[in-house]
């Protein structure tokens, strides 16, 4: 008994040693794992060698594995690696076999023809997206039976989706989007019953959606947008009850939307836009209470919008444009209307009001112009008002939308010029003003819009040079055409702007005209300066036979010529600076005031022009040629015939033949340049006014604009003008002179007759 017990005790340690030895991985498992890892490493290296060499490929830390003997002999060295598990983008399971390859966005170029799918029996995760892989997907991919995640998106893959892909029964994610795949979706894709996400969008797939897709009852997201799929949407798509995202935008689907689709109660995003669907939206749409985004734009849908859409309380994005819907919009759609008070939505960041439907009701302001109150939507980043019947001018208030990225006002009947205030939107990237009736020049301030990348101004009546920005300079011809008076260096479409030719002459003429117009009314009967300045002037009144004759101007100093002669010569005009010009205007304003209000009887010249204004050596102005002057009878209405320089007549003379003390003031402005930048009105031959001079020049312009009133009684009198010019108060602009238009100056409405 004792000997038996001793034998058992001696045998027990022996059994333990045998057990530990047999169970040791170094005895059984290690040689197997080493062999598998070696095979996987060789397969990866072989595939790497078939790829196009580049810097990205060289950055992959993939090296030849050591031999089996070398591995055993160096097992004591922890730095000696035995497989690809530590390689870039490679992961392994606990047994040391490759179970994951993630080489997304690595700049890899080549095919998968040399990729040995049979060498990776344990591969579960494969991500080769965002590379430059091309050619077809090998059918041998079906050998990776353990795969549950495959992403080959954003490559250059072509050919058909291999039907063998249906053997990957463990797949939960399949991403093939943004490639060049063609052909039909294989029907046996319905065998992938574990699939959660299927992304086939942005390819060239065609044909019908296979009805077997209704077998994918685990599907949460289905992406089919931007393909050439056609036909009816299969009714059994309603079997995908877990679906929360269905994207079928930009295909050729036709027919009715299957009623089974409205059973997908989990839907959050539904995009059926840009297809050929017809019929109406059923009332059962109201059952999709989780819906947040609903896109049906660009189809052939008709009928009313169902009242049940008011139930979609989660809805934040709705697009129904370019259909044939009719009737009233549901009153509480989107939990409130875009009412007339646009300003009550200060957090609105997107507005799309393209209108190819027949809606009526209180969806927006029923007007034919762009509401200026849109400028209060300070967080707006996209504004699309295209394809409407909007007219009138683009409101200046849009310049307040400083966060706007996209502005589309195309296909309307907008008039007037492009407001320079648009250049305040520094974040603007896309501007579409095509197919309108816009005129005038493109504001030069657009050159400060460095973020602008897309501009379409075609089919308008714009003129002048293109601002020097790449969005216009590099624009294709179709974005600029049908603007016959535009010029610039854009291919062969536009004529070049001749810096020394007609363009410059045109601006000089406009500048000279503006100066002439501004000064002409103030240069009436300048002998009053004799009374004020006591320099080189003396007015004598002669009476003959009881009648008062006209004044004669004695010019004692030496004349340097008329104002017209001075301004017509470039060199002399350059010496004629803004201070001298302002002084002449001030003096003549006082002269006119004296003649209109202080002389008895009052006198009007009736033929003020720059040719009748003489300048002495100190640039003091005197008026000559009183042949058409007339004394006014203060106690009666004065009538006159048309006299003076041909080409101009005060409106009241043309209509009523009545003349009064305000008649000459209309000479201040005979051409309105309200939408032109102020600098464009000024003489380009001399430097722009200094900051101090600008205040005086702008004040003069404002007074001149006040004289534009059609009614002579509503214009400022010369006495009022003289008083204003004598005042030390000057206008202060809210922005630099070069950014201010005449219209903005007129809007100040400071001087009132």
pLDDT tens string 604-660: 766 666 666 777 777 776 766 554 455 555 555 554 544 544 444 455 444 444 445
Give the dihedral of Cα atoms 532, 538, 539, 545; nearest 10 deg.
150
Whether residue 380 is predicted with pLDDT greater than 60 in this model: the reply is: yes
Give the pLDDT confidence score for residue 72 in this predicted structure: 45
Long-range pairs, 692-697, Cβ under 8 A, ≥24: 693/578, 693/579, 693/582, 694/733, 694/737, 695/730, 695/731, 695/732, 696/578, 696/582, 696/730, 697/578, 697/582
Domain CATH for 451: 3.80.10.10
Could you tell me which residues are beta bridge partners of residue 276?
Answer: 254
Do 148 and 283 sit in the same domain of this protein?
Answer: yes
Do 457 and 581 sit in the same domain of this protein?
Answer: no
Q: Which residue has the higher pLDDT, 64 or 250?
A: 250
Do 167 and 292 sit in the same domain of this protein?
Answer: yes
Is residue 693, in this structure, part of any structural domain at all? Answer: yes
Cα–Cα separations (whole angstroms), residue 131 to 79, 104, 136, 168, 176 = 32, 7, 15, 23, 12
User: How far is residue 675's CA from residue 442's CA, in Å, rounded to a whole number?
Assistant: 11
Decide: residue 727, CB within 10 A, 0-12 exposed, 13-18 middle, 19+ buried.
exposed
Is residue 453, in this structure, part of any structural domain at all? Answer: yes
User: How far is residue 655's CA from residue 634's CA, in Å, rounded to a whole number?
Assistant: 21
Residue that finishes a domain, picked among 497, 513, 531: 497
Residue that finishes a domain, picked among 478, 497, 516: 497
Is residue 3, in this structure, part of any structural domain at all? Answer: no
Do 594 and 462 sit in the same domain of this protein?
Answer: no
Average pLDDT, rounded, for the chain: 75
**CB proximity list for 711: less than 8 A, separation 6 or greater:** none
Instruction: Domain of residue 614: give its range.
Output: 503-747
Quick one: pLDDT band at residue 676, thresholds 50, 70, 90?
A: low
Do 174 and 254 sit in the same domain of this protein?
Answer: yes
Is residue 603, in this structure, part of any structural domain at all? Answer: yes
Do 387 and 513 sit in the same domain of this protein?
Answer: no
Cα dihedral sign for 344, 345, 347, 351?
A: negative
Do 591 and 664 sit in the same domain of this protein?
Answer: yes
Do 481 and 515 sit in the same domain of this protein?
Answer: no
Angle of helix 578-593 relative to helix 691-706, nearest 10 degrees, comes to: 40
Model's pTM, two decimal places? Answer: 0.47
SS3 content of the chain, % helix, strand, coil (to 5): 35, 20, 50
Is residue 77, in this structure, part of any structural domain at all? Answer: no
Is residue 352, in this structure, part of any structural domain at all? Answer: no
Whether residue 316 is predicted with pLDDT greater than 70 in this model: the reply is: yes
Burial 260-288 (b: 16+ CB within 10 A, else e): bbbbbeebebbbbbbbebbeebbeebbbb
Quick one: pLDDT band at residue 202, thresholds 50, 70, 90?
A: very high
Do 199 and 326 sit in the same domain of this protein?
Answer: yes
How many domains, the chain?
3
Task: Write out the two tokens for 594.
Answer: 């004296």
User: How far is residue 296's CA from residue 272's CA, in Å, rounded to a whole number?
Assistant: 5
Is residue 664, in this structure, part of any structural domain at all? Answer: yes
Residue that finishes a domain, picked among 463, 497, 531: 497
Is residue 43, in this structure, part of any structural domain at all? Answer: no
Rounded (5°) CA angle 222-228-232: 70
Helix, strand or coil, per DSSP, at residue 355? coil
Q: Which residue has the higher pLDDT, 16 or 521?
A: 521
Do 233 and 268 sit in the same domain of this protein?
Answer: yes
Helix, strand or coil, per DSSP, at residue 110? strand
**676 contacts 701 by C-beta, under 8 angstroms:** no
Cis peptide before 436 (omega within 30 of 0): no
Q: Which residue has the higher pLDDT, 544 or 469?
A: 469
Do 466 and 563 sit in the same domain of this protein?
Answer: no
Do 518 and 667 sit in the same domain of this protein?
Answer: yes
**89 contacts 41 by C-beta, under 8 angstroms:** no
Give the pLDDT confidence score for residue 131 in this predicted structure: 92
């Amino acid at each position: 008994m004792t000997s038996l017990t001793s034998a058992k005790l001696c045998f027990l340690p022996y059994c333990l040693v045998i057990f530990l030895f047999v169970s040791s991985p170094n005895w059984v498992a290690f040689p197997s794992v080493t062999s598998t890892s070696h095979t996987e490493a060789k397969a990866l290296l072989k595939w790497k060698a078939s790829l196009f060499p580049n810097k990205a490929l060289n950055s992959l830390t993939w090296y030849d594995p050591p031999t089996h003997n070398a591995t055993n002999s160096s097992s004591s060295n922890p730095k000696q690696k035995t497989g690809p598990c530590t390689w870039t983008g490679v992961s392994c399971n606990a047994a040391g076999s490759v179970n994951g390859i993630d080489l997304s966005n690595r700049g890899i170029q080549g095919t998968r023809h040399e990729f040995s799918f049979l060498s990776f029996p344990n591969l579960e995760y494969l991500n080769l997206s965002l590379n430059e892989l091309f050619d077809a997907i090998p059918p041998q991919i079906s050998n990776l039976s353990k795969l549950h995640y495959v992403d080959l998106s954003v490559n250059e893959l072509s050919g058909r989706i291999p039907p063998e892909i249906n053997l990957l029964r463990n797949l939960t994610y399949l991403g093939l989007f943004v490639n060049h795949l063609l052909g039909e979706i294989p029907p046996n894709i319905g065998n992938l019953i574990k699939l959660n996400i299927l992304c086939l969008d942005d390819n060239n797939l065609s044909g019908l959606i296979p009805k077997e897709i209704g077998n994918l009852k685990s599907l949460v997201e289905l992406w089919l947008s931007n393909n050439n799929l056609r036909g009816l949407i299969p009714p059994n798509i309603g079997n995908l009850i877990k679906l929360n995202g269905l994207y079928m935008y930009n295909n050729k689907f036709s027919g009715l939307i299957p009623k089974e689709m409205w059973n997908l109660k989990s839907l959050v995003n539904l995009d059926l836009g840009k297809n050929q669907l017809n019929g109406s939206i059923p009332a059962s749409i109201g059952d999709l209470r989780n819906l947040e985004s609903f896109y049906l734009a660009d189809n052939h849908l008709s009928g009313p919008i169902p009242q049940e859409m008011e139930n979609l309380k989660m809805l934040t994005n709705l697009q129904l444009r370019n259909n044939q819907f009719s009737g009233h919009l549901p009153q509480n759609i989107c939990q409130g209307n875009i009412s007339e008070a646009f300003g009550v939505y200060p957090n609105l960041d997107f507005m799309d009001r393209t209108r190819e439907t027949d809606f009526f009701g209180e969806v927006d302001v029923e007007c034919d112009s762009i509401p200026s109150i849109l400028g209060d939507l300070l967080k707006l980043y996209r504004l699309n008002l295209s394809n409407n019947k909007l007219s009138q001018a683009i409101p200046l208030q849009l310049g307040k939308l400083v966060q706007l990225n996209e502005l589309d006002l195309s296909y309307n009947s907008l008039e007037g010029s492009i407001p320079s205030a648009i250049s305040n939107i520094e974040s603007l990237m896309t501007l579409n003003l095509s197919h309108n009736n816009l005129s005038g020049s493109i504001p030069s301030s657009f050159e400060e819009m460095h973020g602008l990348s897309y501009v379409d101004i075609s089919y308008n009546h714009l003129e002048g040079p293109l601002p020097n920005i790449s969005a216009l300079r590099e624009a294709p011809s179709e974005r600029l055409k049908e603007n016959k008076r535009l010029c610039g260096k854009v291919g062969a479409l536009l004529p070049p702007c001749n810096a020394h030719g007609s363009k410059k002459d045109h601006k000089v003429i406009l500048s000279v005209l503006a100066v002439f117009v501004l000064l002409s009314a103030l240069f009436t009967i300048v002998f009053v300066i004799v009374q004020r300045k006591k320099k080189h002037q003396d007015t004598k009144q002669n009476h003959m036979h009881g009648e008062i004759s006209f004044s004669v101007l004695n010019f004692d100093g030496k004349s340097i010529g008329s104002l017209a002669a001075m301004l017509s010569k470039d060199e002399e005009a350059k010496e004629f600076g803004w201070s001298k010009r302002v002084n002449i205007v001030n003096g003549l304003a006082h002269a006119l005031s004296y003649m209109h209000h202080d002389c008895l009887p009052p006198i009007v010249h009736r033929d003020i022009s720059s040719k009748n204004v003489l300048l002495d050596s100190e640039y003091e102005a005197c008026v000559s040629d009183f042949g058409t002057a007339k004394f006014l009878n203060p106690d009666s209405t004065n009538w006159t015939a048309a006299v003076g320089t041909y080409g101009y007549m005060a409106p009241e003379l043309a209509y009523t033949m009545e003349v009064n003390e305000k008649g000459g003031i209309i000479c201040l402005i005979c051409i309105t340049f309200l939408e032109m930048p102020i600098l464009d009105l000024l003489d380009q031959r001399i430097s722009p006014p200094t900051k101090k001079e600008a205040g005086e020049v702008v004040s003069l312009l404002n007074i001149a604009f006040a004289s534009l009133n059609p009614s002579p009684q509503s214009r400022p009198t010369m006495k009022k003008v003289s008083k204003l010019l004598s005042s030390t108060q000057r206008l202060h602009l809210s922005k630099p002179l070069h950014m201010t238009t005449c219209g903005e100056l007129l809007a100040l409405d400071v001087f009132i007759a």
